[in-house]
Chains A and B, each alone.
Chain A
Amino acid sequence: MKYIDEFRDGALARDLAAAIAREVRSDRRYHLMEFCGGHTHAISRYGLCDLLPANVRMIHGPGCPVCVLPVGRIDNAIALAQRPGLILCTYADTMRVPASKGLSLLQAKARGCDIRMVYSSADAVRIAREHPQRDVVFFAIGFETTTPPTAVAIRDAQAEGLANFSVFCNHVLTPAAISNILESKEVREYGTVPLDGFIGPAHVSTVIGSQPYEYFAEEYQRPVVIAGFEPLDVMQAILMLVRQLNEGRAEVENEFTRAVTRDGNVRAKSLVADIFELRRTFEWRGLGEVPYSALRIRERYRAFDAEARYGIVYRSVPDHKACECGAILRGVKTPAQCKVFGTACTPDHPLGSCMVSAEGACAAHYTYGRFKDAAIAPVAAAAD
């Protein structure tokens, strides 16, 4: 596959691994957080940690859109779906996130709710167009990557006068989450979560550009390297971070130049600004209430705002007691340190949201990496 295989080349990976091994200093450790679930997935799927020196540790950040969605918001969505005649549309992974009373959207669907998995916000608009007699709500989640498509859906619905379409907006913002982690007591006061640098988001950065990260590099003196989601991108970013740390630099560097510019996608940003505005606060699973960290639909598009239309009232719901998703999302714990990991909580029966999406730290570790915890005898090579 052109433009893909080039970034998954095993020989180049070994060269990069050798370069990282040469570059790391043996007298220090490197704690690097990959913010995005896309990076977490790539690291697990390609077994990247096997190629890294022992003193380079990757910490999985909160950039998995499904993982940071609080239970209360899923409860709201289920309540919407239970309204007679209403069609709720959402992205696939959202279907499986556990909500209150042992429900999830998938189980609500099995109990008769009309919930449809869509690949694009445009599909939700199409469904609304095809069912003029029924209310259609798009349950919109995600970071800056999925926000512009939601904006387009609202713009198109308004242009068409699609009166039966609305959006339950849950879009969140990456920079606010990074600030929250850097401001957390574990990082700033106690130092219990050493965080030396960040691998910056790939797709989010194609929209917002590299400029927003300059503040973190400057204010918190942490290097940021924006990287693509292919495994070689991640390896290259790790090398760049190690170099910055060794040289005492804290800059924003862009490994993903094939898609990210300093200013990002100006058109997308302007459309988003036209349709959405900042919420004063929004609850994140794992991070709690984070000020100015999410978007809501502006007053002038109120007709398409499901929260206004259906009078949705948000109620915070605590996570399952044994669930450590919060600590895992903040980098305080690793998945294997959670008591219910792999026992009561598995991808088939997730208790916490990190076990739901393939991009979640727990699901990625369970699916691709848990044999490393089991310490089975190493095997030389597969087949000859």
Chain B
Amino acid sequence: MAGRDDTLRPVDFRNGRVDMTHGGGGRAMAQLIDELFVHAFDNEWLRQANDNAVFAVPGGRMVMATDSHVVSPLFFPGGDIGCLSVHGTINDVAMAGATPLYLAAGFILEEGYPLADLKRIVGSMAAAAADARVPVVTGDTKVVEQGNGDGVFITTTGVGVVPAGVDIRGDRARPGDRILVSGALGDHGVAIMSLRENLSFETTLRSDTAALHGLVATMVAAVPDLHCLRDPTRGGLATTLNELARQSGCGMVIAEERIPVHAEVRAACEFLGLDPLYVANEGKLVAICADADAQRLLAAMRAHPLGVDAAIIGEVIEDPHHFVQMDTSFGGRRVVDWLTGEQLPRIC
């Protein structure tokens, strides 16, 4: 970075810790930004060292989404808060059928947090952004006193463009439409829970955290008239379907036996007293399309690596009460209601 003082000792990423000067606006902050963030995310916008990023955009409609990440623990099987914060916002942008273009990242660091861990997180973020080909072009860092944070909080904001002819919204589900999911549900939530204090249990499960824009692009190419897309993160599938039913003013019926859930997730939910339908996902999506498009959409999803276990799980119905109902594999029918309270604190 311009003006860098060559006599400064490099940041001690082995034993150092975040201190108040890293957010103070002075030389220490500039050094951390330079040696950590700019180094990891390296791109033409960051290198300009402005407080913003200026870029050209294609014509048409843009989409913007933001997502704050406060996951605990910060590192979990299959990922960490770094890649999660990239995937989460890319997915929110992608759920409009859009191509994500750029990300911004805001960090709130707690005084005393090991710089080595921060470096791992930023490295994971940079790798996720590079894999997704969506650069982090601007950012912000703040430090809060010890006890006022939980290590690292990350807020990411993304912008993208919606291809012409695509109109994906939560209020477009219509009676007769089919409901699809892109794969097995609940992996992320259970992977996180397995590490929780008081709960720790051994599992081979890994978080499903992934950027879904590639899958979405495939889906939109196959079925441009996709009606709804949403990623069932906090609150799981049940919450997402209730949101879509309310927005669209309709009801839904799903079939329990068609919903893909890994045996490990079912088992963990069984002994924790949870319902997999309410457990968080970070690399899955729910899609709703016209009946006539459903098989084509399913085939397109299954042809993509992130959709091999995709399934049609139900249909949209008329219902003034906007209930989401489920035919249980046992033979009865029940409501799949909004989540009451929370199943577990802070999972994404």
Q: Which residues of A contact B (CB under 8 A)?
A: 1, 4, 8-10, 13-14, 17, 44-51, 96, 106, 118-120, 123, 231, 347-348, 363, 366-371, 374, 376-377, 379, 381-383
Contact = CB atoms under 8 A, between A and B. Distances in A.
15 contacts: A10-B331, A45-B328, A45-B334, A46-B334, A47-B330, A48-B330, A106-B341, A369-B334, A369-B335, A371-B325, A374-B321, A382-B314, A382-B315, A383-B178, A383-B258
A366 B333 contact: no
Query: Which of B253, B257, B335 gathers most chain A CB within 10 Å?
Result: B335
A132 to B, nearest CB: 18
Interface string B159-197: 000000000000000000011000000000000000000
Nearest to B323: A371
B340 A347 contact: yes
B335 A367 contact: yes
B331 A118 contact: no
- Interface of B, helix, strand, loop or mixed by DSSP: mixed
A47 B336 CA distance: 12
Counting from the closest, the 4 A-B pairs by CB-CB distance are A47-B332, A382-B255, A347-B340, A368-B334
B327 interface: yes
Query: Which of B198, B251, B257, B321 gathers most chain A CB within 10 Å?
Result: B198
B341 A44 contact: no
Contacts of A371: 321, 323, 325, 335
Interface string B304-348: 000000001111011111010111111111110100110000000
Given A51-B331, A120-B198, A347-B340, 11 more contacts: A4-B266, A8-B329, A14-B331, A47-B328, A49-B332, A118-B198, A348-B341, A363-B340, A382-B253, A382-B254, A382-B326
What's the interface size class on B, roughly? 35 or more
B270 interface: yes
Contact of B340 (A51, A119, A367): A367
- Interface of A, helix, strand, loop or mixed by DSSP: helix
Nearest to A346: B340
B263 interface: yes
Contacts of B333: 47, 50
A200 B286 CA distance: 41
Contacts of B313: 382-383
Given A1-B263, A367-B337, A371-B321, A13 B331 contact: yes
A125 B332 CA distance: 42
A17 B255 CA distance: 20
A350 to B, nearest CB: 9
Given A8-B329, A376-B251, A123 B334 contact: no
Given A1-B270, A382-B327, A383-B313, A366 B334 contact: no
Contacts of B179: 383
Contact of A119 (B199, B325, B331, B335): B199
